[in-house]
């Protein structure tokens, strides 16, 4: 249950960043439709902040940390993340046999870097 909550908090953090990006760049995406793909598309269409677009794209690519966290969240809606099947699912998503705690620590570091990168750009 705590792992499920942690995964949801990580996704919530990214969602908060997406709302802030939408407001900061005036992307005009309605709040009920804000998703990483829509933010990327709007940033790309308006050629705003290519560096930010690259960071979001990198995080959301198949098998990368944010994509994997979303898949785990979807998996956890019907199953527990501490089951043997969850370990197998995590291995399939990451293409390795990483243990869950080190994987989540690494994902949290990536999330912190993304937040810091966005904060630095906002100051400019």
Query: What is the token pair recorded at 55?
Result: 């960071």
Question: b vs e for 52-67, b when ≥16 Cβ sit within 10 Å of the residue's Cβ?
Answer: bbebbeebbeeebbbe
Q: How far is CA 30 from the centre of its chain?
A: 19
Radius of gyration of the chain (CA): 15
Whether the per-residue pLDDT at 93 is higher than 60: the answer is no
Between 80 and 33, the more confident residue is 33
Whether the per-residue pLDDT at 38 is higher than 90: the answer is yes
pLDDT band at 19 (very low <50, low <70, confident <90, very high): very high
Coil, helix or strand at residue 86? helix
pTM for this prediction: 0.72
d(CA 51, CA 113): 13
Per-domain residue ranges for the chain? 2-123
pLDDT of residue 91: 59
């Amino acid at each position: 249950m705590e792992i499920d909550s942690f995964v949801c908090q990580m996704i919530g953090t990214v969602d908060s960043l997406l709302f802030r990006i939408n407001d900061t760049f005036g992307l005009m995406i309605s709040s009920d439709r804000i998703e990483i793909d829509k933010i990327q598309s709007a940033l790309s269409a308006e050629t705003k902040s290519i560096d930010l677009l690259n960071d979001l794209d990198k995080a959301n690519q198949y098998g990368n940390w944010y994509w994997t966290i979303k898949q785990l969240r979807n998996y956890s809606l019907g199953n527990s993340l501490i089951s043997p099947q969850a370990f197998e699912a995590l291995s399939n998503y990451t293409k390795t046999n990483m243990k869950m705690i080190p994987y989540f620590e690494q994902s949290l570091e990536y999330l912190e870097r993304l937040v810091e990168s966005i904060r630095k750009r906002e100051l400019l």
